[in-house]
């Protein structure tokens, strides 16, 4: 393994504009090699305030599951009062593991989701989504868990303005998808991979990298080497196409007969406003979060 090849490991299902918005944070992480030192351990809320917050939830209809990565006193699915609706936020880049100084990854989110689905006090679950996507593997894993949870009780994906790419992958597995406005953005159902080639940069800096492979390691990093040396994308594209086929096939399976448009219309990576997405069967309706919660409470 080397630094250059490590950059190329992720297969992404994310909107480029959404990804670029996190460049300043990435720069700060590069400048600060120990981001854990900046983590807010306590925040502005005291133990007593969180305890009061939990006590007030006894009579609540909607129960917001706290993110353990952001709260030192998280609110868990086990705190849910009877006949409540659990709300789980997915408002961040979709990653498999926790984001330093940020939200939990999908491994933790999936655990919270399944604990809510298995809790008899919880009638239904709402995934509040406002995300442009992220890691393909993380999205696939979370989508499988959403499908598993929806077999136990209703799981509604509520789009709070944006659900694109990996975020939509996850939402497509829910019982229903409701958008908050006809102007909400839905789609970007597609896959890509970014590979950084630092060859010219290193050369200008007077740095020459020598890669020595074992005699029998003829295929190690072969696709990456062909791309860097010859511009041959075929090997890398095989990987991207493989994941993309799974992505689109899963969306088609999850949405099933609700899809009224062919894959050639929605599976090219295009984005849609919510009213157009509804016409195609990519979402089920447009409404408010309050309406969604009320309908689930009254089930």
Of the candidates 212, 214, 215, 234, the one whose C-alpha atom is nearest the C-alpha of residue 223 is 234
> Buried b / exposed e across 245-254, counting CB within 10 Å, b at 16+?
eebbebbbeb
The 3-state DSSP class for residue 197 equals coil
pLDDT at 119: 95
pTM of the model: 0.81
**CATH code of 90's domain:** 3.90.226.10
Residue 217 resides in a domain:
no
Residue 213 resides in a domain:
no
CA distance 170 to 174: 8
Residue 20 resides in a domain:
yes
Domain count, the chain: 1
What is the dihedral sign for C-alpha 87, 88, 92, 98?
A: positive
Residue 198 resides in a domain:
no
Residue 63 and residue 52 in contact, taking contact as beta carbons nearer than 8 Å: no
pLDDT values of the chain reduced to their tens digit, one per residue, 299 residues: 333 333 344 565 665 656 655 555 555 555 565 544 444 444 444 545 545 544 444 445 777 787 776 665 577 898 888 889 999 999 989 999 988 777 889 999 999 999 999 999 999 999 999 999 999 999 999 999 999 999 999 999 999 999 999 999 999 999 999 999 999 999 999 999 988 888 899 999 999 989 999 999 999 999 999 999 999 999 999 999 999 999 999 999 999 999 999 999 999 999 999 999 999 999 999 999 999 999 998 88
DSSP 56-71: HGGG-SEEEPPPTTT-
Instruction: Please give the helix or strand (H or E) that residue 147 lies within, else none.
Output: helix 136-150
Q: What residues have CB less than 8 Å from 56, skipping those under 6 apart? A: none
Of the candidates 259, 242, 241, the one whose C-alpha atom is nearest the C-alpha of residue 251 is 259
pLDDT at 192: 92
């Amino acid at each position: 393994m080397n630094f250059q090849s490590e950059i190329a490991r992720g297969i992404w299902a994310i909107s480029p504009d959404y990804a670029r918005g996190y460049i300043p944070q990435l720069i700060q992480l590069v400048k600060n090699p120990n981001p854990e030192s900046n983590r807010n351990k306590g925040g502005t809320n005291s133990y007593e305030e969180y305890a009061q917050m939990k006590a007030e939830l006894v009579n609540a209809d909607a129960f917001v599951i706290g993110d353990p990565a952001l709260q030192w006193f998280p609110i868990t699915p086990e705190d849910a009062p009877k006949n409540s609706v659990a709300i789980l936020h997915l408002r961040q880049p979709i990653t498999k593991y926790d984001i330093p100084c940020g939200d939990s990854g999908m491994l933790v989110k999936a655990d919270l989701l399944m604990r809510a689905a298995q809790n008899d006090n919880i009638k239904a679950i709402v995934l509040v989504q406002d995300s442009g996507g992220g890691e393909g593997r993380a999205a696939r894993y979370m989508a499988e868990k959403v499908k598993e949870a929806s077999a136990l009780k209703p799981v509604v994906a509520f789009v709070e303005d944006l659900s694109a790419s990996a975020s939509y992958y996850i939402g497509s597995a829910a019982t229903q998808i409701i958008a908050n406005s006809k102007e909400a953005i839905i789609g970007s159902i597609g896959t890509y991979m970014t590979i950084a080639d630092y060859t010219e940069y290193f050369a200008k800096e007077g740095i020459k990298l020598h890669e020595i492979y074992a005699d029998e390691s003829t295929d190690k990093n072969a696709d990456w080497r062909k791309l860097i040396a010859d511009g041959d994308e075929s090997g890398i594209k095989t990987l991207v196409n493989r994941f993309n086929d799974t992505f689109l096939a899963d969306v088609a399976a999850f949405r099933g007969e609700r899809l009224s448009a062919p894959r050639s219309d929605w599976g090219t990576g295009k984005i849609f406003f919510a009213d157009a997405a509804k016409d195609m069967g990519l979402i089920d309706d447009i409404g408010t979060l309050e309406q969604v919660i009320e309908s689930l409470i009254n089930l």
